[in-house]
Structure 1
Amino acid sequence: MRIFTIGDQTLEESSLEFRTLLADAYKQRHRPMCMCKEPAVAMYIARLEDQYLIKRMPLSGRDHDPACPSYEPPYELSGLGPLIGNAIQIDPSGRADLKLDFSLTKRGARSAAVEAAEPSEHGIRSEPRKLSLRAMLHYLWEAGELTEWRSAWAGRRGWGRVRTSLINAATQMTARGGPLSDMLFVPEVFHPEDKDGIASRRAAALKGVQATGSGSRKLMMIVAEVKEFSAAREGHKIVVRHMPFPLMIEDGAWRRLAARYEAELELWRSSEPLHLIFIATFGISNAGIATVEEVALMVVNEHWLPFEDIHELRLLEKLSHLKRKSVKGLRFNLPRNAPIVSVTLPEQKPAPVAMFIVPASAGEQYEHALTDMISARPEITPWVWRVVHGDMPRLP
């Protein structure tokens, strides 16, 4: 059971007094201090529907005791490692200041494109000093703790919770001199009884990207679930769940998107329970049409956990029934030919376990990089599934 200090009071999180204290501390913007280690680790309070929850500050998971539920695996095992101190910088208040590798301004004639910093299968500009659009999506997912899972959460994570987690995470980030939450739109779950309220809040959120004339104008990011892609008179439409209008994408950009994310689209179409998440920069024209500028895709399972291929999906399915926590590793800016931890089991005894899936295409360079990664974290037990050797090894 975690113990926190808030102001001059120290309480167990299971106590009745703690629940009341948490609501008051949220209003006063006090930071809870997790007492799992000395010195105590600062956290923040998030509101999830009618509940108040304590969340990790950006990149602070490794500062907690491994036995603490707030502990997070070392970020060096994922694509997050090269970005720390470069694209992601933590300021004295504990907020993450982000350097973005995509534009939030539209100038002149439109030239929509699939995200320029997104990797192809044959190479990548693996730039550690800026976040690509895909890396931005991965960081929001990671900071929102949406990469974590345990079986007790089954049936409790829908789009409403995903949305709140993303928005809460964005409140702890800044970019280009302003709060990231002001640059991010995540559609609300549609409720017919509140359709007027939802429409009013959506209009207020999107007011800043509505064109009012010629010249440059601001763009926003959207993170949402794809309902379907459909052909338009010119180009294509991205039909978005919980939104009454689609986002338009020109034909050339659509072809590039379909080619670059062929694997994600194939996986999504293969099974009804899977979800396809997209992040895009977009604006709204003088005519009121929402148009995509840059876009990246990510496929997730029924628990909203990202995965890259059928092997990762099988591993997540196996782990989803376990009571202990699992944490999905993400690629961020790294190419597919670079090893990353697929899943970490931070609560495994006597030591956390890092689970790696080696693809059939892995060569000597990949194996050397994997060996170096494992050697750099001797306190973590490796579990390796080499796909060419056959079926999944026995779980730890």
Structure 2
Amino acid sequence: MKQFVIGNQALEESSPEFQSELARAYEQKLRPLCRCREPPVPMYIARMDGQFLVKRMPLSGRQHDPVCPSYDPPYELSGLGPLIGNAIQIDAATGAAMLKLDFSLSKRGNRATSDASSEPTETVRSQPKRLSLRAMLHYLWDTAELTEWTSLWAGRRGWGRVRSSLMNAARQMIVRGSPLSDILFIPEVFHLEDKEGIAARRAATLGGARAETSGPRKLMVMVAEVKEFSPVRDGQKILVRHLPFPLVIDERAWKRLNGRYDIELELWRSNTDFHLIVIATFGISSAGIASVEEVAMMVVNENWIPVENIHEQRLLERLSRLRRKSKKALRFDLSRGQPIASVTLPEATPAPVALFIVPTNADEHWETAMNEMIAARPEMTPWIWRVAEGEMPRLP
């Protein structure tokens, strides 16, 4: 059972007064300390669905003991590694993640819409200086702990929980001196009985994206689930769930988007249980039209875990039935030609496990890079599925 220090008081997660003490600490902005190690590891309190939860600070997972539920495998096994200390910088005092962006949050004139996250080149940048739109979506998803799963959570994760987790994660991120949550719009789950309240909150949030009479137009960032695409004059409209109006994207950007995200779109259309997540910068014109400026996409499965291809989905499906926790690694700005550990099992014994899927088109450089990654993390046990050699090996 997890134990924390809040102020001068030691508390167990199971104690009857835990929620009331968390509520008090939340109001007083106190930071819980996890006692899995000495000295204790700082954490923060998030409010979700009327309850208070203790969450790990961004990128602090490795500081926890491997037996602690807040432990997180090394970020070097994913595309997050090259971004740390460059595009993503952690404030040691507050734990906030300061993000440097590779996309604009304003628009001047009639600059053409772009798909923002074009596939990274095969040239490896050892220290990316800025975060692409796709990488920001991955970082939000990862920090919100939506990459983690155990069978105990079956049926408990819907869009409402996804939204709450993402907004809490965004409050821990700083963009140009302000919390990312100030410019992030995620549609609320629609409830008929709260129709007017939802509309009022939406209008208040979207005020920052409405066109002003002069100067550059400010943009906001939206994360939403795509419902469908349909053609309009000179472009397409993206209908997203829980939102009464579409996003409009011009025809040239739509064609680039289809070329860049052909695999994601094919995956989404192949399985009705999959969700297609869009992240976009957008503004609202004086006519009230929400227009996309830059956009990126990601496919997630029925448990909202990101999935790159059908082989990963088979692995995730097998792992989803286990009570042990699994964590999906994300690519961020790495190309598909570079290896990552597809999934890690942080609770495996006697050591955490890193699961690799070697695609059929993997070359000598791919294998070398994977072997170097494995050698650099000797505390992790490797599991390798070479797709060209046949069926999935037995799980560890």
Q: Same fold (TM over 0.5)?
A: yes
Q: For 1:176 and 1:30, how far apart are their aligned partners in 2?
A: 25
SS at match of 1:16: coil
Find the counterpart in structure 2 of residue 291 from structure 1: 291
Q: For 2:43 and 2:118, how far apart are their aligned partners in 1?
A: 32
Find the counterpart in structure 2 of residue 107 from structure 1: 108
C-alpha displacement of 1:20: 1.3
Find the counterpart in structure 1 of residue 96 from structure 2: 95
Find the counterpart in structure 2 of residue 173 from structure 1: 173
SS at match of 1:62: helix
Find the counterpart in structure 2 of residue 62 from structure 1: 62
Find the counterpart in structure 2 of residue 7 from structure 1: 7
C-alpha displacement of 1:42: 0.6
Q: For 1:328 and 1:388, how far apart are their aligned partners in 2?
A: 22
Q: For 2:278 and 2:30, how far apart are their aligned partners in 1?
A: 34
C-alpha displacement of 1:215: 3.2
Unaligned 5+ runs, structure 2: none
SS at match of 1:348: coil
Q: For 1:51 and 1:270, how far apart are their aligned partners in 2?
A: 37
C-alpha displacement of 1:110: 3.2
C-alpha displacement of 1:173: 0.8
Q: For 1:118 and 1:23, how far apart are their aligned partners in 2?
A: 43
Encode CA deviations 1:332-376: one digit per residue, 9 max, x unaligned.
010000000100000000000000001111001111100000000
Measured on the aligned residues, the alpha-carbon RMSD in Å equals 1.2
Q: For 1:176 and 1:236, how far apart are their aligned partners in 2?
A: 31
SS at match of 2:277: strand
TM-score (norm 1): 0.98
C-alpha displacement of 1:184: 0.7
SS at match of 1:187: coil
* Residue identity matched to 2:163: R
SS at match of 2:287: coil
Tell me how many residue pairs correspond in the alignment. Answer: 395
Are the structure 2 counterparts of residues 124 and 191 from structure 1 closer, same or farther at C-alpha, using a change threshold of 3 Å?
farther
TM-score (norm 2): 0.98
SS at match of 2:230: strand
Find the counterpart in structure 1 of residue 44 from structure 2: 44
Encode CA deviations 1:282-327: one digit per residue, 9 max, x unaligned.
0000101000000000000000000100000000000000000000
Find the counterpart in structure 2 of residue 313 from structure 1: 313
Is the 2:210–2:283 contact (alpha carbons within 8 Å) kept by the matching residues of 1? yes
Q: For 1:101 and 1:63, how far apart are their aligned partners in 2?
A: 29
Find the counterpart in structure 2 of residue 264 from structure 1: 264
Q: Show structure 1 runs of 4+ deviating over 4 A.
A: 120-127
SS at match of 2:17: helix
* Residue identity matched to 1:376: A
C-alpha displacement of 1:28: 1.4
- Which stretch of the first structure deviates more once superposed, 91-100 or 210-219? 210-219
Q: For 1:124 and 1:163, how far apart are their aligned partners in 2?
A: 33
SS at match of 1:208: helix
Is the 1:108–1:215 contact (alpha carbons within 8 Å) kept by the matching residues of 2? no
Is the 2:184–2:222 contact (alpha carbons within 8 Å) kept by the matching residues of 1? yes
Alignment map for 1:1-396 (pairs within 5 Å): 1-91=1-91, 92-115=93-116, 117-119=117-119, 128-396=128-396
Encode CA deviations 1:237-258: one digit per residue, 9 max, x unaligned.
0001000000000001001101
Q: For 1:101 and 1:49, how far apart are their aligned partners in 2?
A: 33
